[in-house]
Amino acid sequence: MNDLLQKPRKVYVSRKIEFNAAHRLFNPLCTEEENLAIYGKCSNKNGHGHNYLLEITICGIVDPNTGFLFDLKELKNILKEEIMERFDHKNLNHDVPDLQECVPTTEVLAVLIWDILEQRLHNINNREISLHEVKIYETGKNSVSYFGE
Amino acid sequence: MNDLLQKPRKVYVSRKIEFNAAHRLFNPLCTEEENLAIYGKCSNKNGHGHNYLLEITICGIVDPNTGFLFDLKELKNILKEEIMERFDHKNLNHDVPDLQECVPTTEVLAVLIWDILEQRLHNINNREISLHEVKIYETGKNSVSYFGE
Amino acid sequence: MNDLLQKPRKVYVSRKIEFNAAHRLFNPLCTEEENLAIYGKCSNKNGHGHNYLLEITICGIVDPNTGFLFDLKELKNILKEEIMERFDHKNLNHDVPDLQECVPTTEVLAVLIWDILEQRLHNINNREISLHEVKIYETGKNSVSYFGE
Amino acid sequence: MNDLLQKPRKVYVSRKIEFNAAHRLFNPLCTEEENLAIYGKCSNKNGHGHNYLLEITICGIVDPNTGFLFDLKELKNILKEEIMERFDHKNLNHDVPDLQECVPTTEVLAVLIWDILEQRLHNINNREISLHEVKIYETGKNSVSYFGE
Amino acid sequence: MNDLLQKPRKVYVSRKIEFNAAHRLFNPLCTEEENLAIYGKCSNKNGHGHNYLLEITICGIVDPNTGFLFDLKELKNILKEEIMERFDHKNLNHDVPDLQECVPTTEVLAVLIWDILEQRLHNINNREISLHEVKIYETGKNSVSYFGE
Amino acid sequence: MNDLLQKPRKVYVSRKIEFNAAHRLFNPLCTEEENLAIYGKCSNKNGHGHNYLLEITICGIVDPNTGFLFDLKELKNILKEEIMERFDHKNLNHDVPDLQECVPTTEVLAVLIWDILEQRLHNINNREISLHEVKIYETGKNSVSYFGE
């Protein structure tokens, strides 16, 4: 079965999910004026928010028995547990313990999500599957990618 | 000039803008439990947020001299003053006086934006131009339209 | 609460869902040649398929107590039960009893979904909420709308 | 066949096509300064251009024999002949005779395309099919609709 | 001509096309229960389908005479012959000989399309142009990329 | 502050902007017939145009003090000065001095924008930030990427 997979084929599988969150860019070690100079309207006192569109890419050799890189149902569950429950309909400054000591920029969020998913995939991984990229679109115009480097 | 416009032509012109805001769906006249029953995770204590995509539609007869329904530069300025300055990078519950007595659902936001723009266009209007529709996409999946009815 | 809602406000709320289905456009009362003349490659023997993007619009007066037209959690459940369970990952020609006597064009699908949802909303409806539009995007280029007329 | 279509069902079918064209907004009856005041950078001497996304909507009763409102292959041919050959990869100011006496705004273009398609559909129409809407997205942010009013 | 191209410039050119196909994920070497455990609703007996959005990327040095990497008209023809005629409005399980021995997952489809296009481009190639990536979006949420590794 | 950033994290930040321009693909060293053979309808005498969607990606180590790779307000200003003022609402053949000796294909445009931005970022750069990619979508179907190779 699956002659095409007789030689190893390395593919990249991406999955998009969206979460809605509030945040405020504010560094408590700086004054209000310094925060305003660095973060502009993103430092407004009562915060604002975004529809964060997250795209996760994993890579590895296609399983010749199933034709899948990874069970998508399992990936969906991981993203539900690790991402949606942690970030969706939350305030990134107040509701996410991992961000307590951080200014929750999109860059920081991408790095944090990488660390969370890398750990999780490492634990369950019995084949050669790697996290390849965490990409976050904060708006339709701005995005940040992190590849674990 | 503009033979096509010798008879009156009624067109509908739409313009999209995006603003990023935080909100929390919470009715202070109800208990926490009642709010949770009605609003679910949207009533989480510290709020969440969205990229609100707003589409404004105005209608009227095309001006045979310019070929325009309305000066788009003027419409951009109106939307900047009335919408972006009021809602962008704001917390809808705390930063918008008109919403102080409201639960800031997308329905309520559409109605409020209609009232604001209808008033503004009425004041400047020296030709027969009407606000036709205020449409807000809260996410890629959900939207609300209000036509002033 | 909600001064903006002291006068009745009629809004239109839309929700998008996607289902993936196979179909074949073929009228058993016609010959193969006639089917090919009418339906072209859409009548290919073994069928093809689409990501159907369905947009449902309901309308009515905003509830002044909640700021909602309708409980979105309830709407999600209705769409899950009536649409996703009936059509998602199905073959429209073989798996959907209501389409047994039909050529499953997008026009027919829009009419059928209207009839299903109109019945369901009628049964649960204790306020003045109406189904307004059923719109199906068969591809990014083609769509069909039905308003119950 | 097609029990769902035993009673007449009025549907709206939309089709999107894209054409790429140059234009300059400039009224030869006005001075350069007046043109700049009205049209801003859109009056720049050597013109600019757009990917115009055109959405045509026709409406009528679904044919109970085919389940179609209208043969989509025929609609594709009409749009190819009437729209693509006339506007695609053209300069709207110099290459389109119908626009010689016009400032080619999006409003004017929508009206012209309505007139062209209304005439064409009228000529071939042996059933009750009407042109319902011509909508042009000039950019992702701006669009104009004309309904023949 | 083309001073900018006096030094070699390596660019990546991407082209998107869409095809609509039915498929069923089912491995005949496994039982119905095993298939259901692996493929879930994707193994439903009568199949389902998708609008597959395919993005092909080729790379190489820009031709200093034309300013093109590759003649887009020729690329369009290749994609029409090799992709559209093979996959569009087809059932991947029954109508595509190359997939007879395969479970037609998106991963397998990406690998097959790579093999087809790599062969074809190799045969016509008289300059240094390479196939770089085959990316397939099965839905708006899921995609698979293959780079020939 | 920002424990997550105690080790260096290399991120890629992308920003999209749109400009609207006219162009004609025509090489004055070739005959009309040769141009038609190479460029097809893109060589039409009076030109055509596009909504060019430009995506710029820069990369480097996240600043542990701000959580930013680069001040987005500064990036916006650079793109306004270098891209929008040079290309928006212009005719690429006549209004852009850098393209006088070129056929303004999307490939050439990507290379030119790389050269412009690379120079500009080099001049202001006091930290380790690099231009990574210039990507231009000429239409929704075609795009070109240049990485400076």
Residue given tokens 């007066």 in the structure block: C61
Closest listed residue to residue C84, CA positions, set C73, C76, C93, C72:
C76
**Active-site position among C89, C94, C122, C128:** C89
Please indicate whether, in this complex, the C-beta atoms of C2 and B102 are within 8 angstroms of each other: yes
DSSP state letter for B46: T
A23 near A90, Cβ under 8 Å? Answer: no
Residue given tokens 């010749």 in the structure block: A64
pLDDT at B77: 95
Residue given tokens 């070109």 in the structure block: F144
Percentage of residues of chain A with pLDDT beyond 90: 87
User: How far is it between the farthest Cα atoms of chain D?
Assistant: 66
Judging contacts by C-beta atoms under 8 Å, the chain B residues touching residue C9 are 107, 111, 146, 149
Please indicate whether, in this complex, the C-beta atoms of E101 and A16 are within 8 angstroms of each other: no
Judging contacts by C-beta atoms under 8 Å, the chain F residues touching residue A115 are 4
Closest listed residue to residue D112, CA positions, set D126, D123, D101, D128:
D101
- What are the pLDDT digits (tens) for F105-147? 999 999 999 999 999 998 776 667 999 999 999 999 999 999 9
Q: Does E21 touch chain C (CB under 8 A)?
A: yes
Please indicate whether, in this complex, the C-beta atoms of C40 and D4 are within 8 angstroms of each other: no
Please indicate whether, in this complex, the C-beta atoms of D49 and F22 are within 8 angstroms of each other: yes
**Active-site position among D18, D32, D85, D89:** D89
E42 part of the active site = yes
CA–CA min distance D9, chain B (Å):
25
Judging contacts by C-beta atoms under 8 Å, the chain E residues touching residue C23 are 49
DSSP state letter for D8: -
In F, minimum Cα distance to A104 occurs at: F67
Q: Does B105 touch chain A (CB under 8 A)?
A: no
* Sign of the Cα pseudo-torsion (D81, D83, D84, D85, in order): positive
CA distance B66 to D39: 9
pLDDT at F23: 98
pLDDT band at E101 (very low <50, low <70, confident <90, very high): confident
Chain B neighbors (3+ CB pairs < 8 Å): A, C, D
Helix (H, G, I), strand (E, B) or coil at E101: coil
Token duo for residue D43: 């009056």
Percentage of residues of chain E with pLDDT beyond 90: 87
Spatial CB neighbours of C4, under 8 Å, sequence gap ≥ 6: B98, B102, B108, B111, B112, B115
CA distance F56 to F75: 10
Q: Does E51 touch chain A (CB under 8 A)?
A: no
CA distances in angstroms from F23 to A118, D109, E5, listed in the order given: 47, 20, 19
Angle (CA) D131 D134 D137, round 5°: 160
Nearest to B139 among A20, A21, A90 (CB): A20
Q: Does D142 touch chain F (CB under 8 A)?
A: no
- What are the pLDDT digits (tens) for E10-67? 999 999 999 999 999 999 899 999 999 999 999 999 999 999 999 999 999 999 999 9
Chain C neighbors (3+ CB pairs < 8 Å): B, D, E
**Helices first, then strands: H and E counts in chain E:** 4, 5
What number is the average pLDDT over the span B117-140?
A: 88
* Residue bearing the bigger pLDDT, E119 or B126: E119
**Per mean pLDDT, which range of F7-11, F45-49, F68-72, F120-124 is the poorest?**
F120-124
Token duo for residue B81: 């003053």
* Residue bearing the bigger pLDDT, C86 or E125: C86
* Chains A–E, number of C-beta pairs less than 8 Å apart: 75
pLDDT band at A123 (very low <50, low <70, confident <90, very high): confident
CA distance E110 to F67: 37
pLDDT band at B126 (very low <50, low <70, confident <90, very high): low
Please indicate whether, in this complex, the C-beta atoms of E12 and F140 are within 8 angstroms of each other: no
CA distances in angstroms from B4 to B130, D114, F2, F6, listed in the order given: 22, 11, 62, 66
φ, ψ for residue A62, nearest 5 deg: -60, 135
φ, ψ for residue D128, nearest 5 deg: -85, 75
Q: In sequence order, what are the beta bridge partners of C50?
A: C21
Nearest to E144 among A12, A17, A65 (CB): A12
Judging contacts by C-beta atoms under 8 Å, the chain E residues touching residue A19 are none
CA–CA min distance D80, chain F (Å):
15
Please indicate whether, in this complex, the C-beta atoms of E2 and F108 are within 8 angstroms of each other: yes
Q: Does F89 touch chain D (CB under 8 A)?
A: yes
F137 near F52, Cβ under 8 Å? Answer: yes
Chain A neighbors (3+ CB pairs < 8 Å): B, E, F
CA distance B62 to D114: 14
- What are the pLDDT digits (tens) for D81-117? 999 999 999 999 999 999 988 999 999 999 999 999 9
Residue F62 CB-density burial (10 A; 0-12 exposed, 13-18 middle, 19+ buried): buried
Nearest to C15 among B40, B98, B142 (CB): B142
Residue F149 CB-density burial (10 A; 0-12 exposed, 13-18 middle, 19+ buried): exposed
- What are the pLDDT digits (tens) for C35-47? 999 999 999 999 9
Please indicate whether, in this complex, the C-beta atoms of F11 and A103 are within 8 angstroms of each other: no
Report the run of H or E that residue E79 belongs to, with start and end: helix E72-79
DSSP state letter for B32: H
- What are the pLDDT digits (tens) for C29-79? 999 999 999 999 999 999 999 999 999 999 999 999 999 999 888 999 999
**Active-site position among F48, F74, F81, F89:** F89
Judging contacts by C-beta atoms under 8 Å, the chain F residues touching residue A110 are 11
Q: In sequence order, what are the beta bridge partners of E54?
A: E17, E136
- Say what the pTM is: 0.96
pLDDT at F128: 77
* Sign of the Cα pseudo-torsion (C30, C34, C38, C42, in order): positive
**Active-site position among B48, B89, B94, B122:** B89
Q: Does E97 touch chain C (CB under 8 A)?
A: no
First to last CA, chain A: 38
CA–CA min distance A56, chain F (Å):
15
Report the run of H or E that residue B83 belongs to, with start and end: none
B138 part of the active site = yes
CA distance D101 to D91: 14
- What are the pLDDT digits (tens) for B42-62? 999 999 999 999 999 999 999
How many other β-carbons are positioned within 10 Å of the β-carbon of residue C89?
22
pLDDT at F125: 62
In C, minimum Cα distance to E18 occurs at: C139
